[in-house]
Structure formats: structure tokens, C-alpha cells
Copies of this chain bind each other. A is one copy, B any other.
Amino acid sequence: MKLFPSLRGLAATAIGCLLALSQAQAQGVDLLPSWNDGAAKARVVAFVKAVTEPGGKDFVPPAERIAVFDNDGTLWSEQPVYFQAMFVRDRVVALAPKNPAWKTKEPFASLIKGDLKAVAASGEKGLAALMAAAHAGMTTAEFDKSVSDWIATARHPKTGRLLTDMTFQPMKELLAYLRDNGFKTFIVSGGGIEFMRPWTERVYGITPEQVVGSSGGLKYELRDGKPVLVKLPSVVLNNDKEGKPVGIQRHIGRRPIAAFGNSDGDFEMLAWTTSAPGARLGMLIHHDDAEREFAYDRKSHVGKLDRGLNEAGTRGWSVVSMKDDWKAVFSAPN
């Protein structure tokens, strides 16, 4: 009996490790090239050094190096509306012929007329409820395919870029940098968990089990004798604001040591992350670059950042200026 079927796999892993090592040994390579030298970048690097240095007073074992990232406004743009709202609109329009009652039922009626503001006004919670209502009865496999098909061609109304090309290059470098240093990187978003999972691995290198999001009920049943999971209209997790620490505990079961957000919806996630002893990192991405992206904060109906700006200083959170701290904003087209 051959007991070492994975010899080639192990060899490949060892070679991969050696390559990573030699790459890191090459002096002068900046692993965060899209970040300008400044306080934000220095803070990240100092934090990573503190928690990874063996024997250091702030050393954290790799299994406990949990970093959580909001998605909308933190890893990709969220203006003029959460991108998921565009998906919901397109899905509702596509499904409308089979659901004639929607023509007179709100918020479906407004949606079908193209009133995205009405969707946006209901927030991520309203979006999740709409998603659940619009997709109840679909199997998870059918829903996955509908997301994958849509995201492959969906473009931003202002920039014309693919939505997956509205992702932030500095944050992708940060994700990779943390993973290179033994961190596990999780998305913790108010967006729908099943809306994100079909593409986060390709776009961010984040596998489905490391995506936490608002979640609807599911039911196991047999269709044509085969097991399927069917989406229910119920909401089992509203993963926003106070819901984010709940989602983190439910899915990760361990308090993160680093958290990245951009709005007051991330306030409790950062508070939960940074209020335990030891080295902790809390960062808020401030959308202050109207030229390269969008500028909004205290008054915005999407991604409102008000309390976070007020309290970042006293809580020891860094505020990242997209304008000043980032050399580039969007990643190169995928």
C-alpha cells in the first residue's frame, strides 16, 4: 500500500515556503507598495512586527492572529449605493415576470421602476430582507450561480469599471501582507454572506468559510431525490453594528486582534476587537478622495462615519486618509 500519496504536494509546499523566504530576504521589497509612507502604514507594520516577533511581549500565536475586514467601503466602493443593491434590483427585474404581485408591492414596485434610492434608504438590513424575500425558494446552488453570472459583467454606473475592479489595491496588499505574516483574514460585512462568497476567493483570496455576513434561513430538502439547501425568507443574522461582534463570535469564536472598517456600522466591531489586553489594531478608512473615488462621511446615507471620527483618537484607532495614505486606489483590472 502506498502511504505517501501527498509527496508531491508536500514538496510543492516546501518549495513555496522557500520561495516566500527568499523573496522576503531580498532587501528593500515593500510589501505594501500602494501605501504612502506615513503614520497609517507605519502603524500597520509596527503592529505586525509586535505580534509576530517570537519572545516579544506582544507575541500572538498564528492560530490567534485573526484580522477582520468590513467589505462595503473598506475593501471595495459603496457609492452611489451598496453594490448589492444593484444586484437586488437586477434580480427583482429579472424575476418580476414570474411575480406579478410585485408590481404593486413595495419595495419591489419602486425597485422595478429603478428607484435604487428607496433600496439604499432601507440600509443593509433592508437589503438583506429584500434579498431573502426575492430569493426564497431558490437553492443555494442556483443563487450562487445567479451571483457569479451577474458579478462577471456588472459595471459601476459612474466609472464603467467592473464592480470587482472597484476593489482597493492598498487593502488587497494589506490582506496578503497579513496572511504572509500568519494571520487569518475574515470578511465581516453587513452584506449578504451568500452574495459575497461566490467571488471573494478570486478577488480577495478569502475562502467562503472566512466570509461572515448577514444570513438568511436555510432548509435541507430533497428535490428529484437529491439533497438541496433552499433559501428561506427569514433573517438569522443581521451582521451590522452590534451584530458584527455577534457574527464574529458565531463564526470565528475568537476575538480578533485587528479590525478594519470605514463606517459607524463597524464601530462595535472595532470596539470589540480593541478592548481586550495585548497589541490591538483598529483602523477606519476615511473616504476623503473625491477625485479618485468618493468623498463622504458624517452626512452620508451610505457608509456614514460620524461617531467613529469623533472617538477614533481616544480609542486609539487609526484613521486612514484615502487621499493622503494611498498611492493608488483601485486595483488593476482583473
The interface of chain A, by Cβ under 8 A from chain B, is: 1-14, 16-18, 20-21, 24-25, 29-32, 37, 42, 45, 48-49, 52-54, 62-63, 66, 140, 180-182, 184, 186, 193-194, 197, 201, 207-211, 215, 218-221, 226-227, 229, 236-237, 242-243, 245-246, 249-254, 268, 271-272, 275
Contact = CB atoms under 8 A, between A and B. Distances in A.
Contact of A251 (B201, B251, B272): B251
Nearest to A237: B236
Contact of A180 (B2, B6, B32, B246): B6
**What 3 A-B pairs come out closest when comparing CB atoms?**
A208-B253, A5-B49, A14-B17
A322 B1 CA distance: 21
Stoichiometry (number of copies): 2
B8 A53 contact: yes
13 contacts: A1-B42, A3-B45, A4-B24, A5-B45, A6-B180, A8-B54, A9-B52, A13-B20, A140-B249, A209-B254, A219-B246, A227-B272, A251-B251
Given A21-B14, A180-B6, A1 B45 contact: yes
Contact of A24 (B10, B52, B275): B10
A95 B127 CA distance: 42
B246 A218 contact: yes
Given A186-B209, A193-B253, 8 more contacts: A4-B25, A6-B182, A10-B24, A13-B182, A14-B21, A16-B17, A219-B246, A220-B242
Contacts of A246: 218-220, 229
B11 A21 contact: yes
B14 A208 contact: no
A268 B14 contact: no
Contacts of A45: 1-3, 5
Contact of A208 (B11, B12, B254, B268): B254
